[in-house]
Chains A and B, each alone.
Chain A
Amino acid sequence: MRWMVPIGRKAKSSLANVDLTIKIAGEAGQGLHAIGGLLSRVFARGGYHVFANQVVQSRVRGGHNWFSIRVSDRPVHAPCARTDILVAFDKESACHFKELTEDSVVIFDSKSIELSVPSRTALDVPMAELASRAGGNRLMANTVAAAAVLGLLHCDPSELFNFLRRSFGKKDAQTGEANVKAAEAGYDFALKKNEGKRRAGFGPPGQAPKMLIGGSEAVALGALAAGCQFISAYPMSPSTGIMTYLASKAADFHMVVEQSEDEIASINIALGASFAGLRAMTASSGGGFALMAEGLSLAGMIETPIVIVLAQRPAPATGLPTRTAQEDLEFAIHAGHGEFARVVMAPAGIEECFYATARAFHLADKYRIPVIILTDQSLADSFASIDALRPEDVVIERHLMSEEDLKRVQGYKSFLLTKSGVSPRALPGNPYCFVTADSDEHDEDGRITEDCDVTRPRMVEKRNRKTVDLLKEMKGPSWYGPKDARDVLIGWGSTRGVLREAADNLLRDGIKAAAVHFEDLWPLDRKHFGFLKKARFAVVVENNFTGQFANLITRTTGIAMARRISKYDGLPFTAQEVVSAYKRLKKGGRR
């Protein structure tokens, strides 16, 4: 009994071990995202930890998709393999029956779909009928279903009603009210059906309301917090959400959002804007980033700051546009011809997307370099409830020459050779000096040169010398789990949550394991791998086939990382998968 408690036992305010997964499954266009989002917000508002992710096919209508909400009283950052409540809107939802347990419930409408639900778990709700009778229409069956979930859990539905009223607003108050009526009907129906049988041990967790925020939104907000005023991008799943969100806020934040003709234009336009003085970014997925490779190299050459979000999806080529992968780590590190300094970072979760993005702008400006933020579909398209973000923690330092500096300087040189490799930066338009950028090899003035004796080697050294100070900026891994754990699960980017959950589960099974997670991936400092000396059983967990991070560790440290857990089916890891794969490895298996 994971989430149901027998009648008579009162729900306590501090509920231990609430870990509930609600999966809403059906066709694209059936509004799965709408109810999923609504329910997620209700739980977040109630102070629960929520992790919601969607698995969709690359199409506008039809197919089989799902929106999965994991609700817990402890932080959750990854989907769960088990489904406790399945809301089924199509026949194909039967594919999720294997995830059900004996306590699970399937909410469906037998009048709308043919589904032979195991009778013990069935909660047949005449959604369309209830919606019509409540004065709404069949389209509100969704609302009925969402409310039925809350009824089943004996949750206070008033937040749901508030959200419904608010989301239709004053513009369409009538539709809002009709939806509330439909919701009431759904709620009462499920409550009554469930009464006397069993009651949910599901009450308010007694915590402050949390923000519910998506990965793409968190990146966009991080950019706004950092004072980013420019994005040019070409739509590509799963990166598009960043541009979409920023477009809705552009005017308030004095920002230009330009949908470019292609990704080559995206990066070159953004570099132009950055050269002119704005904090500028672009975002794409692997294919679009591939087109940006030459522009990335240009950023390195003209030492013009830029932030590039690479939201990974399974490749090669078009691959699986709406699924997830961690296949572009080596690509991000090596993309672009020639040698130049760069930073590659992969935020661990949705909250980290905010802070990492803000930091990316900081590093880009400070070192006049490109910074790549690696996310992936599972992060970009997921939602999580988090504590309030702290924009006040983001300090904007532009590292530009002041008016006084400019007045004082004689013979400004855009590419002045300095000890750090970073030249003082002026912007074009100032009345004191000219500012240059040249993709050709250039002298300190930024003018084309073919002086191979002196200028060329000095410029190569200058551009690459930045890495020395950059290494000092790079954060080492986070350690989660017993301090003396000799078993370690190593990962990077979006898998941190799942690794920590796996470590918890392993500990419960008597295996002392720690989750060691890297956000800063390049430049990589071997001193951050000291923990490997003490580790007895180290496994690298990645959403790719070749073990890109494992190989990178070997390259950096000389230590062979033979134990790997790889997943490359386009879906994110679950903790259960990691735990069983880990146990298999321990027994002596290899992959």
Chain B
Amino acid sequence: MRPEDLGNFQTAWCPGCGNFGILDALKDALVMLDLDMHKTVLVSGIGQAAKEPQYLNCNFFNGLHGRAIPAATGIKMANKDLHVIVTSGDGDIYGEGGNHFIHAIRRNIDITVIVHDNQVYGLTKGQASPTSDIGFTTKVQPRGVINEPLHPLAMAVALGAGFVARSFSGDKQHLSSMIQQAVQFKGFSLVDVLQPCVTFNKRNNFSWYKQRIEPLPQDYDVHNKVWAFEKALQWGDKIPVGVIYRDGRSSYEDACGLMGEASILSQGPNPARLKDLLKEFF
């Protein structure tokens, strides 16, 4: 597959938006992985980030706000032969869809969730998101955010997610690598992508992130949960990026005997068994 096969669409994003970097990196990852796009479904919710699948030649399910993960879950359960990639924003996945985020990790369904995390709501014009920093002022939070921000990576590690990574929309190569590893990972994988919002987040802008991100140390043990928590919670002068945690726990597909061989879709229904079953009622 060549990058141009994925298409070149006019977007509804602001010039300079971090979404462009994420779209570029995603395209790069899809090309590098050489995924059969006919066997791939992109799933999203609602928000500027969630428009991403619309700008690719692909199968997509652009569902409801907050409900990308459930739709992706159903698609994967039905047809495990499909690569299912969710790409949506922080408000969508961590806010409106928070409950699904929690339970998808528990299920460990084999999907990749890429969160465009710009710490602000863009499409509704600049309200705080679940990851907004304390003190961040908006028209709805004029005296600044007082809620503790949600720590998505720590939350994912705590819930037993098998692949937890963070990257930055301004580093295409790194982000592409994170996405590639996430897609290849068998089980639920999260890539939280730090992303500037040029219009509504003047505080966490491109250079703010650029100055803070740093790779994980050379001797970092990706299987060490205690270290993972430490890095997942690190926020401030230095923000670590990379694969924070990686684990080998069995995915939903493995744990569920039915998923062992052919997909449920290709197995097809079995109504012929009904004749025997009805005998149980006499």
Among A178-186, A266-274, A310-318, the one that faces the other chain is: A266-274
Within 8 A of B (CB), among A247-275: 249-256, 258, 260-262, 264-265, 268-275
From residue A216, how far is it (CB to closest CB) to chain B in Å? 13
Known A211-B278, A249-B277, A440-B62: A276·B78 in contact at CB below 8 Å = yes
Known A254-B258, A391-B271, A430-B38: A277·B79 in contact at CB below 8 Å = yes
Residue pair A268, B74 in contact (C-beta under 8 Å): yes
Query: Across the interface, which residues of B come within 8 angstroms of A8, CB to CB?
Result: none
Query: Across the interface, which residues of B come within 8 angstroms of A224, CB to CB?
Result: 269, 271, 273-274, 277
Most buried by A among B58, B67, B74: B74
From residue B265, how far is it (CB to closest CB) to chain A in Å? 5
A430 and B59 CA atoms in complex are apart in Å by 10
Decide if B51 is an interface residue (CB 8 Å cutoff). yes
Map CB proximity to A onto B38-55 as digits: 1 under 8 Å, 0 otherwise. 110101001000010010
A249 and B269 CA atoms in complex are apart in Å by 12
Decide if B17 is an interface residue (CB 8 Å cutoff). no
Residue pair A448, B51 in contact (C-beta under 8 Å): yes
Query: Across the interface, which residues of A come within 8 angstroms of B269, CB to CB?
Result: 224, 227-229, 253-255, 279, 396
Within 8 A of B (CB), among A517-566: none
User: In the complex, which residue of chain B has the Cβ closest to the Cβ of A358?
Assistant: B271
A428 and B271 CA atoms in complex are apart in Å by 24
Query: Across the interface, which residues of B come within 8 angstroms of A432, CB to CB?
Result: 38
Decide if A389 is an interface residue (CB 8 Å cutoff). yes
Decide if A226 is an interface residue (CB 8 Å cutoff). yes
Residue pair A269, B71 in contact (C-beta under 8 Å): yes
Cβ 8 A contact of A448, one of B54, B63, B268 = B54
A252 and B273 CA atoms in complex are apart in Å by 7
A429 and B80 CA atoms in complex are apart in Å by 10
Query: Across the interface, which residues of A come within 8 angstroms of B125, CB to CB?
Result: none
Within 8 A of A (CB), among B34-92: 37-39, 41, 43, 46, 51, 54, 57-64, 67, 70-79, 81-82
Within 8 A of B (CB), among A268-307: 268-280, 294-295, 298, 302
Query: Across the interface, which residues of A come within 8 angstroms of B78, CB to CB?
Result: 229-230, 256, 272-274, 276-278, 280
User: In the complex, which residue of chain B has the Cβ closest to the Cβ of A217?
Assistant: B281
Decide if B103 is an interface residue (CB 8 Å cutoff). yes
Decide if A394 is an interface residue (CB 8 Å cutoff). yes
Residue pair B64, A294 in contact (C-beta under 8 Å): yes
Query: Across the interface, which residues of A come within 8 angstroms of B77, CB to CB?
Result: 230, 256, 258, 269, 272-273
From residue B78, how far is it (CB to closest CB) to chain A in Å? 4
Decide if A45 is an interface residue (CB 8 Å cutoff). yes
Known A227-B269, A268-B63: A275·B71 in contact at CB below 8 Å = yes
State the interface size on chain A (CB cutoff 8 A). Answer: 69
User: In the complex, which residue of chain A has the Cβ closest to the Cβ of B259?
Assistant: A256
Decide if B236 is an interface residue (CB 8 Å cutoff). no
A366 and B74 CA atoms in complex are apart in Å by 21
A273 and B70 CA atoms in complex are apart in Å by 10
Query: Across the interface, which residues of B come within 8 angstroms of A435, CB to CB?
Result: 59
Within 8 A of A (CB), among B232-282: 256-258, 264-265, 267-271, 273-275, 277-278, 281-282
Residue pair B268, A254 in contact (C-beta under 8 Å): yes
Query: Across the interface, which residues of A come within 8 angstroms of B67, CB to CB?
Result: 264-265, 268, 294-295, 298
Residue pair B281, A211 in contact (C-beta under 8 Å): yes
Residue pair B75, A276 in contact (C-beta under 8 Å): yes
A254 and B59 CA atoms in complex are apart in Å by 25
From residue B218, how far is it (CB to closest CB) to chain A in Å? 39
Cβ 8 A contact of A275, one of B12, B58, B74, B270 = B74
Residue pair A272, B38 in contact (C-beta under 8 Å): no
Helix, strand, loop or mixed for chain B's interface? helix
Cβ 8 A contact of B271, one of A227, A270, A274 = A227
Decide if A194 is an interface residue (CB 8 Å cutoff). no
Query: Across the interface, which residues of B come within 8 angstroms of A277, CB to CB?
Result: 78-79, 265
Known A261-B102, A277-B265, A440-B62: A253·B270 in contact at CB below 8 Å = yes
Decide if B199 is an interface residue (CB 8 Å cutoff). no
Cβ 8 A contact of B264, one of A210, A212, A229, A295 = A229
Residue pair A280, B74 in contact (C-beta under 8 Å): yes
Residue pair B46, A439 in contact (C-beta under 8 Å): yes
Query: Across the interface, which residues of A come within 8 angstroms of B273, CB to CB?
Result: 224, 252-253
A535 and B62 CA atoms in complex are apart in Å by 51
A92 and B257 CA atoms in complex are apart in Å by 48
Residue pair B70, A272 in contact (C-beta under 8 Å): yes
Decide if A588 is an interface residue (CB 8 Å cutoff). no
Residue pair A429, B79 in contact (C-beta under 8 Å): yes
Decide if B100 is an interface residue (CB 8 Å cutoff). yes
Map CB proximity to B onto A391-431 as digits: 1 under 8 Å, 0 otherwise. 10010100000000000000000000000000000011111
Map CB proximity to B onto A148-179 as digits: 1 under 8 Å, 0 otherwise. 00000000000000000000000000000000
A230 and B74 CA atoms in complex are apart in Å by 9
Residue pair A261, B74 in contact (C-beta under 8 Å): no
A537 and B219 CA atoms in complex are apart in Å by 87
Residue pair B100, A221 in contact (C-beta under 8 Å): no
From residue A408, how far is it (CB to closest CB) to chain B in Å? 17
Decide if A437 is an interface residue (CB 8 Å cutoff). yes
User: In the complex, which residue of chain A has the Cβ closest to the Cβ of B77?
Assistant: A256
Residue pair B103, A225 in contact (C-beta under 8 Å): no
Decide if A331 is an interface residue (CB 8 Å cutoff). no
A209 and B281 CA atoms in complex are apart in Å by 10
Residue pair A254, B74 in contact (C-beta under 8 Å): no
From residue B199, how far is it (CB to closest CB) to chain A in Å? 19
Query: Across the interface, which residues of B come within 8 angstroms of A294, CB to CB?
Result: 64, 67
Decide if A104 is an interface residue (CB 8 Å cutoff). no
From residue B86, how far is it (CB to closest CB) to chain A in Å? 11
Query: Across the interface, which residues of A come within 8 angstroms of B103, CB to CB?
Result: 260-261, 265
Most buried by B among A232, A255, A294, A438: A438
From residue B17, how far is it (CB to closest CB) to chain A in Å? 16
Decide if B99 is an interface residue (CB 8 Å cutoff). yes
User: In the complex, which residue of chain A has the Cβ closest to the Cβ of B72?
Assistant: A272
From residue A215, how far is it (CB to closest CB) to chain B in Å? 13
Decide if A123 is an interface residue (CB 8 Å cutoff). no
From residue B212, how far is it (CB to closest CB) to chain A in Å? 34
Known A254-B269, A278-B265, A434-B38: A271·B274 in contact at CB below 8 Å = no
From residue B200, how far is it (CB to closest CB) to chain A in Å? 21
Known A221-B277, A258-B77, A278-B78: A429·B64 in contact at CB below 8 Å = no
Query: Across the interface, which residues of B come within 8 angstroms of A276, CB to CB?
Result: 41, 74-75, 78-79, 82, 265
Residue pair A431, B38 in contact (C-beta under 8 Å): yes
Residue pair A221, B278 in contact (C-beta under 8 Å): yes
From residue B276, how far is it (CB to closest CB) to chain A in Å? 9
Residue pair A272, B75 in contact (C-beta under 8 Å): yes
From residue A305, how far is it (CB to closest CB) to chain B in Å? 13
Minimum-distance CB pairs A-B, first 8: A272-B74, A227-B269, A268-B70, A276-B78, A273-B74, A428-B59, A261-B103, A272-B71
> Can you list 25 A-B pairs, Cβ within 8 angstroms, ordered by A?
A211-B278, A211-B282, A221-B278, A229-B269, A253-B271, A253-B273, A254-B258, A255-B264, A265-B99, A268-B64, A269-B71, A269-B73, A272-B43, A272-B61, A272-B73, A273-B74, A273-B77, A277-B79, A295-B64, A388-B278, A391-B271, A438-B60, A438-B62, A439-B63, A448-B62
Binding site for A on B (CB under 8 A): 12, 37-39, 41, 43, 46, 51, 54, 57-64, 67, 70-79, 81-82, 99-100, 102-103, 256-258, 264-265, 267-271, 273-275, 277-278, 281-282
Binding site for B on A (CB under 8 A): 44-45, 209-213, 217, 221, 224-230, 232, 249-256, 258, 260-262, 264-265, 268-280, 294-295, 298, 302, 388-389, 391, 394, 396, 427-432, 434-440, 446-448
Inter-chain pairs besides A278-B265, A427-B265, 12 sampled, C-beta below 8 Å: A210-B282, A213-B281, A225-B274, A252-B277, A254-B267, A260-B70, A271-B74, A295-B64, A391-B278, A428-B82, A439-B46, A440-B62
